[in-house]
Amino acid sequence: MAKFYIERIVAHGDQRSDAVVSFGEGLNIIQGYSDTGKTCVIKCIDFIFGSSEIPFDESTGYSKVTMTINTDKGQIDFSRNIGKNQVYVVSYNEDIESGTYDLTYKKNQKKPVLNSVWLKLLAIDGEPMIAKNSDFERKHLTWRTILQMLLIPEDDIARSASIVVPEQHTEKTLFLSALLYLVTGRDFAENDAQTKKEIRVARRKAVEEYVNKQLSGVADRRKSIAAQLDAVQGVDVEAEVARIVEDIKQTDAAITEAVNNSKELLVQILATEEKAAECTMLRSRYKALRSQYTADVHRLTFIVEGEAEYQGVPHSAKCPFCDGKMPVQNRLSYIESARAELTRIMGQMKGLSETEADVQAELAEIEAELKALQAKREDIETLINEKLRPKADELQAALEKYQVYIRLKHEVSVIDSFQESWMSDLRQLPPENSSELKYHPKEYFDEEFLRAMDRYAHEILEECHYENLSSARFNLADFDIEVNGGKKSTNHGKGYRAFLNTVVTLMFRKYLCSDAKYNPGLLIIDTPLLGLDQGVDDAAPESMRTALFKYFMNNQAEGQMIVIENLEHIPNLDYESAGATVITFTKGRFEGRYGFLDGVY
């Protein structure tokens, strides 16, 4: 948590009631309609912080601003009159002396400068001097310089450039130096620059060695490729590839046709084999029937012959056992009926022989047809396996050969492109003047800082339900966020810029809280939903706006945050149950406080 937080801001006037706004230690939301004094509250805070902008006209009857802050060692009151460049301090913190403080540094300074109070509250010893330009000219580290990333006015919230870096080029180096001091506690004097220069020289040498090594390697590769390309010199490769592709197409079509013919023949062969099986089965049945007829002929012949023999056997008149008289019995003869049946069976056997002959003839025809079909199918399979497929393989091998040639030609063009690019890189390597040292603050933001900022960018955007999020990173060159590979300034309108600028301030807030040596613990944002207020078509969708304010509520432990927003567009959430302080200006539309300044409409 921060070393201090703003507890109260008060506007005083001789003929006016004090206009008071009280704040909590975490999230504070000032919501209201337009022209109710929301921004005036922020201007009063900035006025105490040393701004030259007057927060309200004296015609309002207000002429002085007082701000109370709370520290872990007691509260401190700051008072400043309109038109004065001094602040009167009443301190109950033993580390801070009460008295009158100047706002700026002067020659022959008699009174202390207010900047020393703010630095001491951040636990910064003394009043460090930091570089303000590339020539190492020094200037005091000031609260006003730091404040540029802590207090975001409405006019800046939708800025296309980085929201934290000053727009004035002459102030950028000073701001980055101040941020580096908060992050590391170091002022990066000339000896640091000398070390950086030595690193740059070593890096330049390493780059030269690397590029030269790459150039040597690709030269060898190019030579090897050239030897392979010589094998097909004088050949129109594109024409050959087109011809081979057409031949492959025709060969594949012939193979397909042959396979289809083979399948049709196989169907015919199977049908013919089925007919042959039926004939064979009939022949077998006829053979069994012939055997049955033959047996019947033998049986009937036996009966006829037996009857003929029996006619000559004499009749016994006496019983051989008792010697009694045996009666004469009248017996029927089966000779005629047996002969008739034998005649019928012989006729059937004759018909059976004719049928057997027909079946045998049909079977012979079927077997001849089957043999012809099998021979034709074998010829097709031989054509496929011994001619068409080998031809297709040969054509494919030839095609691959020419494709390798094309790839090698492309590789040569890529190598030439890389060679040209690397040569250009070598030419563009900045020369190092051994007699001159220059200060470049961005060189001191290390990889650990960049990785942390990349991580915070993605985490915050994800928690804020940023639409179609795939990647997010912190661009050191622009000192700004990039989402899904696109720059904020080129890919988004005012609504999204305001949203992303707010996210950037939250990234720095989290980094200062979690990773920096000194943490101011304060963030003030005026109208983060400015795009919606302006009626911009690409304003952040409702889910993103709601998620953004939920993020404010869920991360109050990172320090005090004061958010100004239009009452008509702020998400409808239960802020107070989350521990936030809510100040509402009604403009008389419903019961409550009209605005910030008493009697001023």
Q: What is the distance between the alpha carbons of residues 37 and 599, in angstroms, rounded to a whole number? A: 12
Confidence at residue 319, expressed as pLDDT on a 0 to 100 scale = 72
Q: Which of 69-83, 240-254, 328-342, 475-489 has the highest mean pLDDT?
A: 69-83
Mean pLDDT score, 373-401: 84
DSSP helix/strand/coil, 382:
helix
Share of the chain above pLDDT 70, in %: 81
- Asked if the model's pLDDT at residue 391 lies above 90, the reply is no
User: What percent of the chain is helix, strand and coil (3-state, nearest 5)?
Assistant: 55, 15, 30
Beta-carbon count within 10 A of 129 CB: 14
Supply the DSSP symbol for 158.
T
Whole-angstrom Cα Rg for the chain: 53
Mind listing the pLDDT tens digit for each residue in 354-364?
Answer: 888 888 888 88
pLDDT confidence tier of residue 231, bands split at 50, 70 and 90? low
Closest CA to 420 of 238, 215, 577: 215
Q: Averaged over 61-68, what is the pLDDT?
A: 95
In the block, residue with structure tokens 């031989």: 382
At position 15, the amino acid (one-letter code) is Q
**For residues 29-46, average pLDDT:** 94
Q: Which two tokens stand for residue 561?
A: 């945050």
Q: What is the pLDDT of residue 533?
A: 47
**pLDDT tier at 339, thresholds 50, 70, 90:** confident
Position 325 pLDDT exceeds 80: no
Q: Decide which of 451 and 242 is more confident.
A: 451
pLDDT band with cut points at 50, 70 and 90 for residue 227: low
pLDDT at 3 over 60: yes
Size (the chain), residues? 601
Could you tell me if 16 and 536 are in contact, meaning their C-beta atoms sit under 8 angstroms apart?
no
d(CA 190, CA 195) in angstroms, rounded, equals 9
Q: Do the beta carbons of residue 493 and residue 536 sit within 8 Å?
A: yes
pLDDT of 343 > 90? The answer is no
pLDDT for residue 193: 54
pLDDT tens figures, 503-516: 999 999 999 999 99
pLDDT reported for residue 342: 76
For residue range 168-206, list pLDDT tens digits in order: 888 999 999 999 999 999 887 655 555 555 565 666 666
Pairing relationship of beta strands 472-475 and 480-483 according to DSSP bridges: antiparallel
List the one residue out of 507, 458, 460 whose CA is nearest residue 483.
458
The amino acid at residue 75 is Q
Q: Which of 10, 8, 13 is nearest to 599 (CA)?
A: 13
- Identify the band that residue 328 occupies on the pLDDT scale cut at 50, 70 and 90: low
pLDDT for 570 beyond 50: yes
- Environment class of residue 314 by beta-carbon count within 10 Å: exposed (0-12), middle (13-18) or buried (19+)? exposed
Every domain of the chain and the residues it spans: 4-188+439-585, 237-426
The pLDDT, as a whole number, for residue 492 is: 66
pLDDT on residue 94: 94
Query: CA 123, CA 519: separation in Å to the nearest integer?
Result: 9
Q: Is the pLDDT of residue 13 over 50?
A: yes
The pLDDT of residue 190? 54
Position 404, amino acid = V
Residue 535 pLDDT: 43
E-assigned strand segments in 237-310: none
Mean pLDDT, all residues of the chain? 84
Number of neighbours of residue 201 by Cβ within 10 angstroms:
12
- Of residues 237 and 285, the one with the higher pLDDT is 285
565: three-class secondary structure by DSSP: strand
Mean pLDDT of 365-371: 85
3-state secondary structure of 414: helix
How buried is 298 (Cβ within 10 angstroms: 0-12 exposed, 13-18 middle, 19+ buried)? exposed
Helices (H) then strands (E): counts for the chain:
13, 16
Average pLDDT over residues 465-481: 91
Give me the pLDDT at residue 431, please. 58
Record: fold of 237-426: Helix Hairpins (1.10.287)
Token digits for 170?
């002459």
Least confident span in 379-383, 410-414, 575-579: 410-414
Higher model confidence: residue 252 or residue 580? 580
pLDDT per residue over 519-562, tens digit each?
999 999 999 988 654 444 454 578 898 999 999 999 999 999 99
Instruction: Classify domain 4-188+439-585 by CATH architecture.
Output: 3-Layer(aba) Sandwich (3.40)
